[in-house]
Structure formats: C-alpha cells, structure tokens
Chains A and B, each alone.
Chain A
Amino acid sequence: MKKYMSDLIVTANEQLNNQYFLLKLTSKETLPEMLPGQFAEVLVDNSATTFLRRPISIHFVDTANNELWLLVQKIGDGTRKMGEFVVGQSVNLLFPLGNSFSMPSSHQKVLLIGGGVGVAPLLMMGAELQKKSIQAVFLLGARSKNDLLELDVFAKYGKVYTTTEDGSHGEKGYVTHHSLLKEKFDKLYTCGPTPMMKAVAAYALKNNIDCEVSLENSMACGIGACLCCVEDTKEGHKCVCTDGPVFNIKDLKWQI
C-alpha cells in the first residue's frame, strides 16, 4: 500500500477525560484507503523533547466526513502536546503504515479484546467486520471505569463486555478472567498492555484458538528504514512497523 506524508487539519479534539482525547483530522483530498490495525506517525512539533514522530493507531475512518480518528492517552510530552492541538491546526502525518489484522472467514466467531488505550485499533476492526456482515464481540478491560473509552461507539459495531480492576464497571478483574471466555471463540484479536496481551495469548494457546496481537514497540522511523522496532520471531528479528504491528502469536517467541 502506498504511504503518504500529508498535512491534515484538526476538525475536533475531544477531551474524553483528563487522560484521554479523541483527535479528528481531515484532508482536502480524499483520505487514502486504510486497513484496521494500521497506524500513523504523527509529527508533534519536532522540539527537543518530542524530536521523533509518535506512532498512533488508526482508530476509525469516517469516510462520510473524510475524517481520520486517533484515540490517544497522555503519557508523556508528545501525547500531552497532541492533546493541545486546536481545531483548524495542521498536523503532519505519515500514513497508513504497517500491516493489518487479517479478516476472519464469515462463519467464524470473533472476539476483540482491548486494554486501556489499546482498544483504539479495535473500533476500526469492528467496523470492517460489520461491513463483511460479521458481528464482532468486544471485551474491553481497564483499571477503572474512567479508563473505559467510547463504549457507546463500540456498541454500534458489536456487543460490548467490560472488566475493570477495581470493579467500577463490568466484571471485576482482568479480561482473561471474564466469564465470556467460557464460550468458545474461533478467533481472537487483541491490543493493549503487553502483560494483558501475553495473558490473552496464553489463553488462546491453551484453548487452541487462533490469535492476533498488535504490538507497540518503540519506533524511530515507522517505515522500515532504521530497524529499531524489531520483535523476535520464529523467523528472526522482524520490524513491527512494516511486518507488524499485527502478528499471529504462533509466529512470536513469547515466553508464555
């Protein structure tokens, strides 16, 4: 897929709470085709503390409004400054980057498991599945109900189940302890903190379920030029930015 470097315009920057925001961007030209699981490299301001671009998943593409959505958690200088982007401002992006989640076959029962801001790429995946008449089921986990994002938006694309560590929303505990997992699914897609993804991968292996994970290794270029973002796989080091970010767990060398 062709990659672009473009200046997009901010149409909205919705502060979901003090930690998360939803950034909506548009372009004069029709946005190129993007696939669920792909990401963009956002140029923050190239200042001393945010010198490199920041990789952010493509959360959703609103084709009717020619908008690209990013769901971001403020964790450091770069994401904090992105939270201050104002409507009308232009933002430079490299996109769409990386591979994508694979599409299941129509009879498969699919579960999308997200943790924290890792839910971001799962919305677009849910929307794509719906286009193919596959009803997704979402299992979204977070520390507390404040970290559960956009539940109403996810609900448009599938049934939503939740867990929180403090029990403030849905079942108490981790996603892998949710009662939903007593059901048999054919395919799991997951994105979130590494310990969560490893727990999901362990569950998938034990129950012999096909499982794809979206990794967030730190990156410098995002386009396969620097070899900084590698993940150890059964075929050696692979770039998360070009061979990933989505990997099937059977190809990884995770100790689980």
Chain B
Amino acid sequence: MADLTTSIGRLQLKNPVMTASGTFGYGDEFADFIDISKIGAIIVKGTTLHHREGNSYPRMAETPSGMLNAVGLQNKGVDYFIKNIYPQTSKIDTAILVNVSGSTIEDYVATVEKLVDLEHIPAIELNISCPNVKQGGMAFGTCAASAEEVISAVRKVYPKHLMVKLSPNVTDIAEIARAAETAGADSVSLINTLLGMAINANTRKPILSTVTGGLSGPCVKPIALRMVWQVAKAVKIPVVGLGGIMNATDAIEFFLAGATAVQIGTANFIDPTITVKIVNGINDYLDNNGYKSITDIIGKLEIHE
C-alpha cells in the first residue's frame, strides 16, 4: 500500500482523486454504486447566489470521444444548498468542496460569504471558467486583470482554501494562472470545458439550444495535459489536473505533468464506479514501480535529452 495522502496547500485529502464539478451531482447519485467516502474529495455542482434554471433542452451532444454540454449552471442557489443539501452531504466522510459561480464580483463575494462558516466545507473551487452562461462566468477567466480582480475580492472574505478553476479558452493559460497566484489563490484547477459546437447536417440546425457548449471527455485530454504542464512550471501554488481522465494511467500522466491531485468528470457518466477504480489503480502503479508515496511522481516527467 503506497501512501496516497495528499496535501493541496493546507487542504488535506485521503487521496488525490476528486470528482469534477457538475459531473457527480451531490455525491448521493453514486452511493448505490460505490462507497463515496473512498474518494479524496467531492466537488459539488456549480452553485450561484440565486436559483438558476439553466439553458433549454437540448443541452448535450455526443461527439467523437467526448461530449458537449450546455447545462448553464442549473442549481437551486446557495441558500437552498446550505439549508437542504449541506446537512446530507456534510455527513459524507470525505472532503466536500463547493464550486462557486457568478455573473458579477458582488455575486461571487456574496455567495462565498455564505459558505465560509460551513464546518464541513474546507475549501471552495471558484469557477471563473464556465462557457455556458451569457454574463460573467468564463469572461472572468479569459482576462488576467478581471481574473485577478474577482479572486482578490473573494480572497478578502474567504480565509479557507481557495482553489480557482481555469478556462482553457485562452491563448496563454500560464498568464491567467500567475494572475490567480498573485491574487491569493491557494491552488488552481484546470481545465474547464473547451468551447465547441455540433451541427445536425440533416436538420441544418445546431444540436445545442445555445449553439455552442463545453467540450469534455478523452478528446480534450492532450490539451489538458499540455496546459497542466505549462501551468505547473509557471506557478508555485499546487495544480489540480483534469480533462478527459478515464482511467488510472491517464491520472498518472497528469501527476507526471505536475498535478498534485486530479479530478474525474465525464468518465463518471460511463462508469459510476470509476473514481474508486482510479484510486486503486494509482496505488497499484506506485506499488509496481517501487514508489512509496504519490508525492514521489508529481512533476517527475523525464524530458528527452
């Protein structure tokens, strides 16, 4: 048994496998299939200040080795979460993180202020990268100055671990990551979905009601790996890697590229037990290769001479 305990700054996890926001509901949905307390951390659905109905159906298009979604942050709002969902999720014996989204800086701050006192939420993931909302969302994450502004504002009201989720829809992701670090982020997670589009040639219509949507799944993995590698070199704060991870080998690749922990998203839809399989697979890889701890492989990519 290798040591899988993971520290992302001050955030202590039993292992480095987390669930990606919006792909694991509130955890409960998976309880019939696995012991969800075996997962390192559960990041719950994107939460906003007010209730959001999200975008109209159709919100999903399958694409080669992946999918587009345009859910648009459907959620019942932070107050509902605290009153009706948190009492249940807080009983799960693992770290629970809330993914926070907003349209304005004031929204983000007001939402985070409500979450700060929740004992069983040791960290938040600030989503400045959602491609599926008209206002705000990704706009904050695609410009270093506005990213810095929203992160600094949240930092002032949130003393616990602040993870910032970055958008891949930028020219230079390292620049945004450095802005997040300057603004006081404790860690960065990447990548959120890539802006994409699907068309039905027979009907000559876009498949998604919103025309464009966010691409995820194994088709995005090469881009995610490249970005994690670039960001890990650019900042000192820990990097959490995600995008297209389908199995333990994919996860190992992210650790080698410099990720301290990983998140599993779309893979949960194909195999609801995949998170636990990946935890076990990482352990097997470490054992088989003579490593004692997960920290032994982080950033250990061996570049060609």
Interface, chain A (partner B; CB < 8 A): 2-5, 43, 46, 48-49, 51-53, 94, 217-232, 236-237
- Is B92 in the interface zone, CB < 8 Å from A? no
Interface, chain B (partner A; CB < 8 A): 22-25, 29-30, 32-33, 45, 53-54, 56-62, 64-67, 69, 71, 74, 217-218, 266, 268-273
User: Contact between A227 and B71 (Cβ–Cβ < 8 Å)?
Assistant: yes
User: Contact between B29 and A5 (Cβ–Cβ < 8 Å)?
Assistant: no
User: Contact between B66 and A226 (Cβ–Cβ < 8 Å)?
Assistant: no
Q: In the complex, which of the residues A48, A52, A217, A220 has the most CB atoms of chain B within 10 Å of its own CB atom?
A: A220
User: Contact between A3 and B32 (Cβ–Cβ < 8 Å)?
Assistant: yes
User: Contact between A220 and B29 (Cβ–Cβ < 8 Å)?
Assistant: no
Tell me the complex Cα distance, A13–B23, Å. 33
Tell me the complex Cα distance, A5–B269, Å. 12
**Sample (29) of A-B pairs whose CB atoms are under 8 Å apart:** A3-B33, A5-B33, A43-B270, A48-B65, A49-B64, A51-B217, A53-B269, A217-B57, A218-B58, A218-B60, A218-B62, A219-B60, A220-B62, A221-B29, A223-B29, A223-B30, A223-B272, A224-B29, A225-B25, A226-B23, A226-B69, A228-B59, A228-B60, A228-B69, A228-B71, A230-B54, A232-B56, A232-B57, A237-B53
Q: A231: which B residues are within 8 A, CB to CB?
A: 57
Q: In the complex, which of the residues A3, A219, A226 has the most CB atoms of chain B within 10 Å of its own CB atom?
A: A226
User: Contact between A51 and B62 (Cβ–Cβ < 8 Å)?
Assistant: yes
User: Contact between B59 and A51 (Cβ–Cβ < 8 Å)?
Assistant: no
How many A-B contacts at CB < 8 Å in the complex? 88
Q: B56: which A residues are within 8 A, CB to CB?
A: 232
Contact residues of A: prevailing secondary structure: loop
Q: A3: which B residues are within 8 A, CB to CB?
A: 32-33
Tell me the complex Cα distance, A3–B64, Å. 28
User: Contact between B60 and A237 (Cβ–Cβ < 8 Å)?
Assistant: no
Quick one: closest A residue to B28, CB to CB?
A224
Tell me the complex Cα distance, A189–B32, Å. 30
Given contacts A52-B270, A230-B59, 13 further A-B contacts (CB under 8 A): A2-B32, A46-B270, A51-B67, A51-B218, A94-B272, A218-B60, A218-B62, A220-B60, A220-B62, A220-B67, A223-B30, A227-B59, A236-B53
